[in-house]
Amino acid sequence: MPGAPEITYADFDKVDIRVGCIVSAEAFPEARKPAYKLVIDFGPTIGTRTSSAQLTRHYTPKDLENRLVLAVVNFPPRQIGPFQSQVLTLGVPDADGGVVLLVPDKKVPIGGRLF
């Protein structure tokens, strides 16, 4: 892929991507770009973590609750205004730049690691 740095499988293996279930979602008016504050449950090993996600174009907070998502759980926390985002919720932009969540297409246990 042009412009993308080449990595090894060992590099990729360092990224811990897990399945979580969104417990709650609420507006994040202090964010520079429209976003939600999410609380995501990753099961007993990892627990509950917070995330800021720019999902407002395609989802309402009610749409997000109880939805399975994929997130990177081993990045350091990031302070976004008054909110600490502890995980990176994964999504891809649509043709207009709105973020669409990356999600499992079947029901899977929370906490499961992508491999």
How high is the mean pLDDT in each 10-residue block of the chain (115 residues)?
85 96 97 96 98 97 98 96 96 97 96 94
> Residues 6 or more apart from 29 whose CB is under 8 A from it?
none
CATH of domain 16-101: 2.40.50.140
The SS3 of residue 63 is helix
pTM value?
0.93
The amino acid at 103:
V
